[in-house]
Amino acid sequence: MDDPKTLVSTDWLAKHIRDPDLRILDASWYMPAENRDARAEYDAAHIPGARFFDIDEIADLRSDLPHMVPPVEKFMSRMRALGVGDGHQVVVYDGAGIFSAARVWWLFRLMGQNDIAVLDGGLPKWQAEGHPIEDLPPVIRDRHMTVRRQNQMVRDVTQVASASKLGDHEIIDARAAERFSGAASEPRAGLRSGHIPGSKNLPFGNLLNGDGTMKAPEALRAAFEAAGIDLAKPAITSCGSGVTAAILSLAMERFGKTDHALYDGSWTEWGAFPTLPIATGDT
């Protein structure tokens, strides 16, 4: 089920790794509590030719919220500096399997770039299978990228509040069940516990196999339906800070649902606003 617009296998990448117009991005990112340095790990070992995509820097640093969508001009300049541009097939991976790579896949799609796929199983699967890694910096040549931002793929807090009131979208939360219900405290200080009223919970881990790969499209659809999600409605994905929400977005794209958007601020924004309503419990 390799699809260069959504998800490709390690076998696919091994076959195409020397293609002249292939560009590989290491988009590893970890929660602060994990005490992992994604950049240092990239410098020590990465897939040959991979460039490091810094989710926290290729972002709107004017915002108080973490890794918000960067201005178009900044995205274009950073991609030029990475040597990624028009005519390239991009494969993005991370050090967890499928975690932060999906966020970069979604960001490229938001910027009108469709020739991008997540590496299924990421760096762990690549290494477990004995494929090569290196610690050499890539040779980069500038490449222009034409960006056409797809505004329908992102939602802000006002739009999400409206959707919550009207019930005309399915708001799908990728956080763990304990965080969704409010039983567990949020990892970021100062945030209330609970969820957006009317939202449904589908923890992103439910979409993955034990080896960190994504489930088959029919199993993904079944997971959404089992969570009580009405797939006839347009969807808005959410999570803690807009990273794992993109795994839900990728999963929907895999089984053919294309009317989805991502709430960029996610719970880091919603949970910090005392005037916004919250719900607790399983629904």
Just list the catalytic residues: 239
Helix/strand/coil (H/E/C) assignment for every residue in 247-270? HHHHHHHHCCCCCEEEECCHHHHH
φ/ψ of 268, rounded to 5, equals -60, -35
Q: What's CA 170's distance to the chain center, in Å? A: 18
Question: How buried is residue 135: exposed, middle or buried, by Cβ count under 10 Å (0-12/13-18/19+)?
Answer: exposed
- Residue ranges of the alpha helices (H) in 188-233? 217-226
Token pair of 155 as six digits: 């939602």
**What is the spatial distance between Cα 211 and Cα 280, in angstroms, rounded to a whole number?**
32
**What is the spatial distance between Cα 250 and Cα 247, in angstroms, rounded to a whole number?**
5
Token pair of 35 as six digits: 């005490």
Q: How far is CA 41 from CA 3, 24, 27, 125, in A?
A: 28, 16, 11, 16
Residue 121 region, left (φ>0) first, then alpha (ψ -120 to 50), else beta? left
Q: Tokens 């990465």, residue?
A: 46
